[in-house]
Structure 1
Amino acid sequence: MPKISQDEINKAVWAACDTFRGTVSADTYKDFILTMLFLKYISDVHLDEREKLEQQYGDNEALIDAMMAKQRFVLPKGTSFWDLYEDRAVPGIGERIDTALHAIEEANGKKLKHLNHSVFQDISFNSNKLGEEKQKNELLRHLMEDFAKPSLNLRADRVGNLDVIGNAYEYLIKHFAAGSGQSAGEFYTPPEVSDLLAILLDPQEGDQICDPACGSASLLMKCGRKVRENHNGSKNYALYGQEAIGSTWALAKMNMFLHGEDNHRIEWGDTIRNPLLRDGDDALLHFDIVTANPPFSLDKWGHESAGADKFGRFRRGLPPKTKGDYAFISHMIETLKPKTGRMGVVVPHGVLFRGAAEGKIRKQLIDENLLDAVIGLPEKLFFGTGIPAAILVFKKDKYDDNVLFIDASREFQAGKNQNLLSQDNIDKIVATYKAGESVDKYAYLASLKEIQENDYNLNIPRYVDTFEEEDEIDLMEVRAERQKLQAELTTLETEMAGYLKELGYGA
């Protein structure tokens, strides 16, 4: 059977979205498309495994059932995509899909559930969001027929060793983000930004890695992938996350499964108001790596209760009521391990220079010698906002008190609506960060004294001079060129007058 390409899967899945376009909003139907992709994949994998066992053990159903029950993922009888597909034209398909999904949850325990939360509890194919019963049945029949097409055969011998399913998942998330404007940041970080953060933080075997605003968990999984790439496929690491939005938490859990990341703990809840990654009731868990792309300048972040925070996260000061950037930064700093802890966070530029409460917190972080680098990114990298962002890198165990400033704002690959960081752009940032030295018009290694003299203002242009002097103008050369042009013009005028005279237009 021929291998399937990533592009084929992406196009087929995106085409399946046509079922809903014009009838249901993208913000609503994304959950149905992504859940159906998940169900189709696990069903094809399950069918593939069962057929292999049948070839090996014949009609010994009891033995085959026992062996299937030990698979990484259990699919109860009657719950697969293909079981549902057979009755796709029978009324009540939405209710049958819901029943199958909940049975799958129950059969797989912690993989799709956590405490009182389950992945599919907020996703109902029997919802009136899909219209009246007749329309709903028709939409879902078309959806199942789209996913049943041969182009979306996701069996192992078609997929091979490529991570095409997880990548298709992220492809869809990216496209839904592009169409959902301001809400995009709730579940999507551009992959090149995740790549950059993962490379900068250099995750190692044995690391515990956390994203306290994890969205769909793409950034966490990039960090895990770096460990595997650099350590011969080792999965000796653990991923932790917390996500406030229920449907996005569900995406993260499904995404983890599709990428084969079993060693994870993703909590559902508000990280600032109620951090759930705890060691007992009164202590936060600590991690080797903490990284996040938290919501920019969140208005209602939990200021009203932060002053009584029992974890001491805001001991450097309370962030302003209407801007939660330093609330996330403060939380992340407090969850770093004392020796190995390193952190990368995406922030709006205002975090670098705003005064008052934020200025006091920024001063404290710098005086404690936690800040390692400030990296300015290009504009239009993030969906829902055209403003440029920056990455702040913190380290618990620095060997000097310098801070490296990198201005990468002018180096990007221009796109139609969004800009991209190319691999060359990423490589240059990483090489500059690792070298830790000034680079003309690109990077500057500032001492603590210089930052103090700038009143702890981290605005990048204060440190990296990108001004390009214009070439000096040679006035004599310009005058000579002008005289030459005037002479040529006089010659042309004389020739033109002659032509006109020959044609009878002369005076």
Structure 2
Amino acid sequence: MSSNSAAEQISQDSINKALWNACDTFRGTISADTYKDFILTMLFLKYISDVWQDHYDDYAEAYGDEPELIEEMMKSERFVLPQSASFYTLYEHRHEPGNGERIDQALHAIEEANGTKLKDAGKSVFQDLTFNTDKLGEEKQKNTILRHLLEDFAKTELNLRPSRVGNLDVIGNGYEYLIKNFAASGGQKAGEFYTPPEVSELIAELLDPRPGDRICDPTCGSASLLMKCGRKVREHHNSKQYELYGQEAIGSTWSLAKMNMFLHGEDNHKIEWGDTIRNPKLLDKNGNLDLFDIVTANPPFSLDKWGHDEAGNDPFGRFQRGVPPKTKGDYAFILHMIETLNPKSGRMGVVVPHGVLFRGSAEGKIRKQLIEENLLDAVIGLPEKLFYGTGIPAAILIFARDKQDDSVMFIDASREFKAGKNQNLLTQDNIDKVVATYRQGADLDKYAYVASHKEIQENDYNLNIPRYVDTFEEEEEIDLLAVRAERQQLKAQLSELEGEMEQYLQELGF
């Protein structure tokens, strides 16, 4: 082990605090939505520099003064870090002019040294991001801000060497923490791509990914849900035999997903950049929509301007069951996902706002069609205030291509959570209960109900959960005779006390 031994263990909380403090360097100069990308990219650069340095020091300790041998050993690392591109090289030169240009050159060198790992279809992860930008002010001010940023990340709290952080998933947790805070303070825009880790955990458990699965998230954001599904294959089956596919519309978030994959060693992936509804990029060799064993997503809720005008002539035939309303794109994403399911083994989990369960018109017709085709497997109601950027409760819809019967399971998990100051949390017990109930596939009083196709039909294909799961708690009956007896007893006690009081007053001469 290198000299940075386990004695110096660090907590995720102190890392998170240091990251949030680093944001102060930009506050008042540029908006959170812009500096988010600078902070997250610097976190990426610092982390890979620390991993690299840690491994280098280990080899130096083991092989002594043989730099050529050490250089050779380092070639077998998961990624390549040219020395000129290391965070520490940039830090050494921080007082010289040209910080912005040096950081940009370092990122470009890392990209070039790692082949296709940080590129997809010709687009590179850092091509839309430049630290050498006028947004940070004129040259002198920009150089000072970037010097402060390098100094923030050089602090002891952000020494991210693996020997120091142990088994912490520093980068995943750090990303989630920052994105969560940007979403909470930056509103809906950031909230679009932030799925709380507990919700990702729940969906991944419900979908039960297996070795050999092709797993897709058509609105993948920073790819946390995708990677959670991959982790399940490793945890439950001790296998790395799976493929991850994603598409993301926002360029900077696509870059984040690629960095996340790179840092987690998820080399068997393909993440495309583009609008999934208007321009689906995950296609097979014949130009048709590619098919997957698992499709899962947390699409933006009730998206306005989702691509309604072109949907009637969709070349992929995704809207044959109907075109969703112009101002609500929920069913556009659901229909896209259904069309990309493997017809034999496909299973799907999607997060939706509750309106999707009961709204009428075009959405009602699409919902009816999906139920009649026996694709819907379960409807799971989640607690409110789980998602950043919106307090409304959401639901998870589970679809499956290989259903054994035509019933649908309804689970009302809306009342089981850990309350936080601003956000509610799903605990591991809450998650386990949903998964166990879904697997058992049986009714559970005031929590779950298995509805027949006929019952759903009688409810006009309305999937609103309270129609199926009765959570009504009867109030205790009041025994009027007991209440009357108690009242008379109290009256007698009061009369006795008043008599005593009268006596005391007479004795005092009143």
Shorter-chain TM-score bucket reads over 0.9
State the 1:207 CA deviation. 0.6
Aligned to 2:143: 137
Aligned to 2:100: 94
Aligned to 1:381: 386
State the 1:63 CA deviation. 4.8
2:129 to 117, 123, 126: 123
Judging changes above 3 Å, is the alpha-carbon distance between structure 1 residues 15 and 500 closer, same or farther for their aligned structure 2 residues?
A: farther
Aligned 8 A contact 1:404 1:433 in 2: yes
- Quote the Cα distance in structure 1 between the aligned partners of 2:157 and 2:169: 17
Q: TM-score, normalised by structure 1?
A: 0.95
- Quote the Cα distance in structure 2 between the aligned partners of 1:480 and 1:262: 77
Judging changes above 3 Å, is the alpha-carbon distance between structure 1 residues 94 and 503 closer, same or farther for their aligned structure 2 residues?
A: farther
- Quote the Cα distance in structure 2 between the aligned partners of 1:217 and 1:502: 84
Q: Is 1:236 paired with 2:241?
A: yes
Aligned to 1:31: 37
- Quote the Cα distance in structure 2 between the aligned partners of 1:482 and 1:103: 85
Aligned to 2:264: 259
- Quote the Cα distance in structure 2 between the aligned partners of 1:501 and 1:279: 102
1:188 to 157, 178, 194: 194
- Quote the Cα distance in structure 1 between the aligned partners of 2:27 and 2:507: 70
Secondary structure at the counterpart of residue 114 of structure 2 = helix
- Quote the Cα distance in structure 2 between the aligned partners of 1:53 and 1:447: 64
- Quote the Cα distance in structure 1 between the aligned partners of 2:380 and 2:391: 17
State the 1:53 CA deviation. 3.8
Aligned to 1:76: 82
Amino acid at match of 2:323: L
Q: Deviations over 1:368-423 (max 9, x none)?
A: 11000001111111111111111100000011000001111111111111111111
State the 1:132 CA deviation. 3.2
Q: Is 1:227 paired with 2:226?
A: no
Q: Is 1:431 paired with 2:402?
A: no
Aligned 8 A contact 1:319 1:357 in 2: yes
Greater CA deviation, 460-469 or 48-57? 48-57
Q: Is 1:170 paired with 2:176?
A: yes
Aligned 8 A contact 1:186 1:248 in 2: no
Q: Deviations over 1:52-111 (max 9, x none)?
A: 444455555555444434432112231110000001122221221112112211222321
**Counterpart mapping for 1:312-391 below 5 A:** 312-391=317-396
Which ranges of structure 2 fall in alignment gaps of 5 or more residues?
none
Aligned to 2:291: 286
Q: Quote the sequence identity (%).
A: 77
- Quote the Cα distance in structure 2 between the aligned partners of 1:202 and 1:19: 43
- Quote the Cα distance in structure 2 between the aligned partners of 1:375 and 1:438: 13
State the 1:268 CA deviation. 0.4
Greater CA deviation, 173-182 or 488-497? 488-497
- Quote the Cα distance in structure 1 between the aligned partners of 2:505 and 2:25: 70
Aligned 8 A contact 1:282 1:311 in 2: no
Amino acid at match of 1:414: A
Aligned to 1:198: 204
Q: Is 1:41 paired with 2:83?
A: no
Aligned to 2:158: 152
**Counterpart mapping for 1:6-17 below 5 A:** 6-17=12-23
Aligned 8 A contact 2:78 2:265 in 1: no
Amino acid at match of 1:372: D
Aligned 8 A contact 2:193 2:300 in 1: no
Judging changes above 3 Å, is the alpha-carbon distance between structure 1 residues 496 and 219 closer, same or farther for their aligned structure 2 residues?
A: same
Aligned to 1:246: 251
Judging changes above 3 Å, is the alpha-carbon distance between structure 1 residues 480 and 206 closer, same or farther for their aligned structure 2 residues?
A: same
Aligned to 1:484: 489
Aligned 8 A contact 2:184 2:191 in 1: no
Aligned to 2:411: 406
Greater CA deviation, 472-481 or 46-55? 46-55
Q: Deviations over 1:229-261 (max 9, x none)?
A: 1122x2111110000000111111111122221
Aligned positions, number: 504
- Quote the Cα distance in structure 2 between the aligned partners of 1:126 and 1:429: 49
Q: Is 1:460 paired with 2:462?
A: no
Secondary structure at the counterpart of residue 78 of structure 1 = helix
- Quote the Cα distance in structure 1 between the aligned partners of 2:26 and 2:507: 74
- Quote the Cα distance in structure 1 between the aligned partners of 2:222 and 2:375: 28
Aligned 8 A contact 1:282 1:310 in 2: no
Amino acid at match of 2:77: Q
State the 1:116 CA deviation. 3.0
Amino acid at match of 1:466: T
State the 1:500 CA deviation. 4.2
Which ranges of structure 1 fall in alignment gaps of 5 or more residues?
none
- Quote the Cα distance in structure 2 between the aligned partners of 1:462 and 1:284: 36
Aligned to 2:453: 448
State the 1:356 CA deviation. 1.2
- Quote the Cα distance in structure 1 between the aligned partners of 2:28 and 2:202: 37
Q: Deviations over 1:452-488 (max 9, x none)?
A: 1111111111111111111111111111111222222
Amino acid at match of 2:130: S
State the 1:177 CA deviation. 1.9
Amino acid at match of 1:141: R
State the 1:112 CA deviation. 1.1
